[in-house]
Structure 1
Amino acid sequence: MSFRTEEYIRSPGGKQRGATLIVVMLVLVVLTVLGVSAMRMGLSNLNVATNSQVGNLLYQSSDAGLYYLMRLDPLKEAVPGGALAVVNLPGREDMFCMRMKGATPSLKAGVCDPAVTDDFMSGRNAVLTQVYVKSSQIDTAPTLGNDLDNLNQSLTMTSTAVLPAFGSATTATIKGCLALPGDDTVAGKLANGSIYYYEDPAVVSASECLTTNGAIFTTLVEDVQIVRELK
């Protein structure tokens, strides 16, 4: 009688191969989730930074338009064709395109055109700044000084800066919106003859048009009073 002995060698790592694969897959999943989260966070930070830059650029451009208007000489500009020619015509509004590419800032009568490179505020052709000057009233009763010959004139100055490259509005739409009134207030008269001003819902302003069409813009408004001594 003979006996046969068989020996089986069991590898201690046999059951560990499957566990290693699962661990590796879990690590890959975790790394993928972390990578996607980091990418989304980076995009969010980029959007925040871009929005901040756009907001600052638009505000500075709008403010530049108002600053230029405030520095104009009323005696020189209150003539036909001048930026302040509206002072003697209550309710009239003139519009100009603010240009800063030349040696000195200037105003072009009419509407800023996104198709005209000279109408942009800088060489990057990024921002258009449209300014509006509207005469709200003429008051011969002075509020400053005691000279009865003083002439007081109240003006509403509006400056709108828009980025044509941003937003959903087309360049043609932006040009059409900028051609609309900057100020939508109109004058009314009470029974006692005094004049008051109110926003007319029938008047569509440039800001309302730009908002409706998804343009990226900023509008600043300044109410000023010009007091001149006539003698």
Structure 2
Amino acid sequence: MTDHKMLLYPKIQASSTQQGAVLIVVLLFLVLIILGGVIAVKNSTTDLRLATSDQINTLLVQSADNANQNIEQSINGGSSDPMYIAMTSSGGPFGHFMSKIGNIDDEYIFCFRPRGEFFNINRATINVPGGGNVSGSDNGYCNPAVPDDYVSQRNASMTQVSVSLTPPNPDYEVFRNYTIGQDGSKISSQAFLFDINSTAILPSYAGSSTAAADCLEQTSKYESVVDKDDTIAGCMAQAGVPSTALYEMANVENQSQRTKCADLGVGNGKSTELLCDLIP
């Protein structure tokens, strides 16, 4: 007699059920991979924007600072230098204010063009209080449509310079407008304090082709407007034009003549004769 035993075998799941579980796992992995890719792309885009922003800021600062350095070198150079003469003449940005007291509230504007003579006395704009400008002086604004108005041949950045007299302030040093070593009764002994604003922009990054040109016609004298949006910096910010403005205060004064005499005990013994030389 044969004994029959019942053997228990594991249940086998249907193939369709197994395929569904694998599909769900694969989809989860795909979702995780996609999320990782999106995060990586987003981080890369942010890093790229930060790098681009840093490059733009560096370029703008260099463009504005280049204008300030050229102005400093010209005004500190020799009195026979052509650029010194142009800057301090009656038609120049400094001489305009020093030659006539009635010009104290004006604003002298010119476009910085370092590829040639960075300042041209015939290409300047002089704005007067209350709006408007001196007749025949409306070509000092930088123009994004003119290649020569850019700092370099890359036509990337341009810099516009504004020069004006520093407004009175009770915190300023007493007698700061007199040259040390000269009599205060002399007109030549007066010193002048100037506000120099150099605004560098990137017109190609502007949302509108005319936005930068319109903003360049605004003032840099913050004390002359009620709304800061009416200034160059405020207008550029509203128009979305990348810009940087560097402010510098310049003290321009005449060098007084000093008298150098012979040291005590040195000379020919004649008390009536002065052994002195004038030093400029």
- Normalised by the length of structure 1, the TM-score is 0.78
The 5-angstrom pairing of residues 39-118 of structure 1 reads 39-73=41-75, 76=85, 77-88=87-98, 89-102=103-116, 105-107=118-120, 108-109=123-124, 110-118=140-148
Q: Give the aligned partner of residue 21 of structure 1.
A: 23
1:121 and 2:172 are equivalent in the alignment:
no
1:212 and 2:238 are equivalent in the alignment:
yes
Distance 2:53 2:167 in 1: 38
Distance 1:58 1:20 in 2: 57
Query: Secondary structure of 1:215's match?
Result: coil
Number of residues of Structure 1 aligned to a counterpart in Structure 2:
209
Distance 2:251 2:147 in 1: 34
Distance 1:216 1:141 in 2: 37
Q: Give the aligned partner of residue 222 of structure 1.
A: 248
Indicate conservation of the 8 Å contact 2:206/2:212, yes or no. Answer: no
- TM superposition shift of 1:55: 1.0
Q: What runs of 5+ residues in structure 1 fail to find an aligned partner?
A: 1-9, 187-199
Which entry has the higher C-alpha Rg, 1 or 2?
2
2:58 corresponds to which letter in structure 1?
N
Indicate conservation of the 8 Å contact 1:140/1:151, yes or no. Answer: no
Q: Give the aligned partner of residue 192 of structure 2.
A: 153
The 5-angstrom pairing of residues 129-140 of structure 1 reads 129-136=159-166
Q: Give the aligned partner of residue 173 of structure 1.
A: 211
Change (3 A) 1:202 1:13: closer
Q: What runs of 5+ residues in structure 2 fail to find an aligned partner?
A: 1-10, 80-84, 125-139, 169-173, 258-280
1:125 corresponds to which letter in structure 2?
N
More strand by share: 1
Distance 2:118 2:66 in 1: 10
Query: Secondary structure of 1:54's match?
Result: helix
Q: Give the aligned partner of residue 163 of structure 1.
A: 202
Change (3 A) 1:56 1:28: same
1:213 corresponds to which letter in structure 2?
A
Distance 2:23 2:14 in 1: 13
Distance 2:37 2:210 in 1: 42
- Normalised by the length of structure 2, the TM-score is 0.66
* RMSD between aligned residues: 3.0
Query: Secondary structure of 1:185's match?
Result: helix
Query: Secondary structure of 1:225's match?
Result: strand
**Runs ≥4 residues deviating over 4 A:** 10-13, 104-108, 137-144
Deviations 1:122-162 (A, max 9, x none): 12111110011112379987555221242201111010001
Query: Secondary structure of 1:229's match?
Result: coil
- TM superposition shift of 1:54: 0.8
1:146 corresponds to which letter in structure 2?
G
1:159 corresponds to which letter in structure 2?
S
Indicate conservation of the 8 Å contact 1:86/1:133, yes or no. Answer: no
Distance 1:207 1:41 in 2: 31
